[in-house]
Amino acid sequence: MLKKLVLIALAISIAMVVFGCGKEEKKAEKKVVIAHDATWPPMEFLDKDKKIVGYSVDYTDAIAKEAGFTVEHKNVAWDGIFAGLANGKYDMIASSVSITEERKEQFDFTTPYFEVKQGVILPADSTAKSLADLKGKTVGGQLGTTGVFVAKKNGEVIPKEFDEVGLAVEALFTGRIDAAICDDVTAYDYVLNNEKYAGKLKVGFVVEADEKEYYGFVVKKGNKELLDLLNKGIEAVKAKGIEKELREKWIGK
């Protein structure tokens, strides 16, 4: 009888250790909530089923797999996306965010993961080759984005801000503005992959900047733990050729 009790106690002890370890492993699995303004194809946008898809979505999924954490993707309007991060509504932003000195004062960025320039979308019959050719014309872009910053800095064009980049493109299509400006990869997607605009709009030119422009993933200032984890994942995604595969899938060769 005593032997039987000892065996039962031993079995209970083993079970506690096993289930205890399981709980510890579950607790150690980090979940990162990611905010996207899903209006920037092919980087982050909603598919026909309203699911968030795109290059940066797949990229962050790949980072999570390589660095050992899980993710949850959220669609968040651009005008409140930085405030939401500051207030802890999510852990990071992956939304075609260009790394700028002004933004670095308030938030931390990962190592760059994509280079862009500012593309100017024009009517197909336009002959404009630079912003100088658009002097006095209205150039639309999404508020708080690099494209609008460039238009304002130019001083010769009339900048007009929209809540979404797609609204600026539509305003151009309907003749309410003269040009639209946004990151070149998104500009090309709108004119080449949207049947409504194909043949009617074009990327007339890209604005040559003094310094190169890169996207980075954004985290709260001082969140070194997450920043290090993301950078580790980015390094692995680049080294294993996953980044190259994602570029071919979403952007082409």
Ordered structural domains, the chain, with CATH: 29-115+213-250 (3.40.190.10), 118-207 (3.40.190.10)
Mean pLDDT, residues 201-230: 96
Pairing mode, if any, of strands 30-36 and 69-75? parallel
Would the CA dihedral through 12, 16, 18, 19 be positive or negative? Answer: positive
- Tell me if 133 sits within 8 A of 127, measured CB to CB: yes
The chain-wide mean pLDDT, for the chain, equals 91
Residue-wise over 123-153: b if at least 16 C-beta within 10 A, else e? Answer: eeebebeebebbeebbbbbbbebbbbbbbee
pLDDT for residue 210? 85
Q: Each residue of 99-108: pLDDT tens digit?
A: 999 999 999 9
pLDDT for residue 209? 85
Assigned token pair, 137: 């014309």
* Phi and psi angles of residue 182, each rounded to the nearest 5 degrees, phi first: -165, 180
pLDDT for residue 6? 41
Mean pLDDT, residues 219-228: 97
Distance CA 230, CA 213 (A): 20
Distance CA 116, CA 46 (A): 21
Paired strand residues for 11: none
Q: What is the pTM of this model?
A: 0.84
| pLDDT grade for 33, boundaries at 50, 70 and 90 | very high
9 pLDDT above the threshold of 50:
no
Q: 70: Cβ–Cβ under 8 A, 6 or more apart, which residues?
A: 29, 30, 31, 32, 64
**Burial of 100 by CB count in 10 Å (0-12 exposed, 13-18 middle, 19+ buried)?**
middle
Distance CA 121, CA 107 (A): 30
131 pLDDT above the threshold of 60:
yes
Q: How many CA atoms lie less than 13 Å away from 96 in the CB half-sphere?
A: 29
Assigned token pair, 181: 């400006």
Q: Each residue of 151-205: pLDDT tens digit?
A: 999 999 999 999 999 999 999 999 999 999 999 999 999 999 999 999 999 999 9
Mean pLDDT, residues 3-29: 48
pLDDT for residue 208? 86
